[in-house]
Amino acid sequence: MAAPDRERGAAHALESVGRGAGRFADAFGFGAHLFFEAVYWLLFGRRKGQRVRAEPVFAQMMGIGVNAIPIVSMLSVAIGVTLSMQGIDSLEQFGAQHQVIFMVALSVTREFGPLITGILVAGRSGSALAARISTMVISQEVDALKVMGINPVRYIVVPSLLGMMIVLPSLTLWSIGISLIGSSLYVAPQIGTTVSAFFAQVNLSIDVDDLAHGLTKSLIFAVLITIVSVVDGISVKGGAEGVGRVTTSAVVHGITAIVLTDMIFVFATTA
Amino acid sequence: MTQAQTAPPVIEVADLVTHYGERRILNGVSLTIRQGEIMVIMGGSGSGKSTLLRHLMALERATSGSIKLLGNELSELGQTDLYALCRKIGVAFQGGALFSSLTVGENIILPLREHTDLDRTTMNIMARLKLEVVDLAGFENLMPSELSGGMIKRAALARAIIMDPALLFCDEPSAGLDPVVSSALDELILRLRDAMQMTIVVVTHELDSAFKIADRITVLDRGEILTIGTVDEVRNSSNERIQNLLNRRFEEEEVDPDEYLARLMGQT
């Protein structure tokens, strides 16, 4: 390649990176604004004649949480059993297979429970939220809300955010419990102990801090999933094709945000 | 002087200018709409009529100029005051903009549910009354997806008038409808004005509909007002651009061949 071509290529790459960074900064700023506006309406909505109703919050909780219980349970059992199999296989080499309970309890409570539940909810409910909002934008439902004197953030975002913030930690707690049950059913016969002894060991292995670590992360993931989905949903352009595009990007952005935040959170709390 | 000319102004637009990026969409638009009047805003595609409507509905902020709605200068209103003003306004969107997750009845009572403390029974009675006004009685339990295009527009109209607004905006009420349904909607708009003394602003490019319902017509072209007048004044206008619009003629743009080629090549 000739030198001018290489220079042009480098300049083009640099420009793309710059544009990408600009778009990210825009989306991040908009997301932060959206979050604080949602908190504002949650706190002061009633005083401003824009009260947040319980009914849509419960509807969101039902959609995000209750309907997700079967799939969360299935994945949690699989994670618990897989971790146990890997753990026993690895620890056996050092004659420490009994430590598998400690390893599984800690990794499920602090890491896998919140992460797997977060990823699942981002794929399931984050995409649904982005699709719903983008459809509302395209069909002028958001404009209709504004001209009816109804704040769209209060009407659409707050119930979703509140529902997600209540349900995701609850689902995470459920996921941790189910993972440990799954693990116990595999580990107990493998290492010659009982299920009750397994849970007694779990009780000794984890403390409130570990649980708080996992649940705090799931609370942050709840905010991320909602805000990322809303930001993507609002940015829709075009018709049905646009809805498909933002739905996919909401899942990708949501999962990326969860995994990166998880890493930063772990670094900040353990390093 | 007629009653319409002496009635107090409900909408006052002065020297409204707006841009989308570099493009100027509205160029010094000024008009006054008085109480109880049906003002039809007409124009071809890209004339700026939908943009003007979005500004009147406070969905867009202008680059410069002033819009007064029911005595309130829009650019000076805070969010809370704007929401309070919106309660006196009804809007029937072109596509209806009914919430697909709610039934027709729930759609219609939404503004009541959000802005009043009325009990559910009273709200349902009010919804049925408005549905009767728009000839949709008995449809309250259907989902919007179960309605035809004309029914969706009528349901949207019922939602727009549920709070008995002083001012009603209708965006292309008869677009995409067959002549019979379109004519019925026109009759409905006239009935609403007569029965409820509403000020109604209709954006349309349907000439028959415009001539049937309008007290006055504003003709927009390329972001500028060509004329504001009664149906007869517009019909008899000697302005060539207005006559082109009325006779569905499109002005042929004179283009320099070299400039046209350069435009196609993306060089301008």
The DSSP code for B74 is G
pLDDT of B201 > 90? The answer is yes
Q: Residue A167's Cα: distance from chain center in Å?
A: 11
* Beta carbons of B97 and A50 less than 8 Å apart: no
**How do residues B100-120 score in pLDDT, each as one tens digit?**
999 999 999 999 999 898 999
A234-A238-A244 Cα angle (round to 5): 70
Nearest to A141 among B85, B99, B114 (CB): B99
| Chain B 92-111, residues with CB within 8 Å of chain A CB atoms | 93-95, 97-101, 110-111
pTM of the model: 0.84
Provide the sign of the torsion angle of the four alpha carbons B77, B82, B87, B90, taken in this order: positive
CA proximity to A136, closest of A115, A112, A162, A160: A160
The band of B20, judged by pLDDT with boundaries at 50, 70 and 90, is: confident
The tokens of B220 are what? 């927009």
Residue B254: what pLDDT?
A: 60
| Chain B 160-219, residues with CB within 8 Å of chain A CB atoms | 169
* Beta carbons of A140 and B84 less than 8 Å apart: no
User: In sequence order, what E strands does chain A have?
Assistant: none
Residue A3: what pLDDT?
A: 67
The band of B267, judged by pLDDT with boundaries at 50, 70 and 90, is: low
Which residues of chain A lie closer than 8 angstroms to B85, CB-CB?
A: 149
* Beta carbons of A147 and B114 less than 8 Å apart: no
CB of B133 within 8 Å of a chain A CB? The answer is no
CA proximity to A178, closest of A126, A109, A123, A120: A109
Which residues of chain B lie closer than 8 angstroms to A144, CB-CB?
A: 91, 93, 97, 99
CA distance B166 to B145: 30
CB A201 within 8 A of CB A101: yes
A108-A109-A113 Cα angle (round to 5): 60
The DSSP code for B47 is S
CA distance A23 to A26: 5
Q: For residue B26, list its beta bridge partners.
A: B18
Least confident of B120-124, B159-163, B196-200: B196-200
Which amino acid belongs to residue A65?
A: G
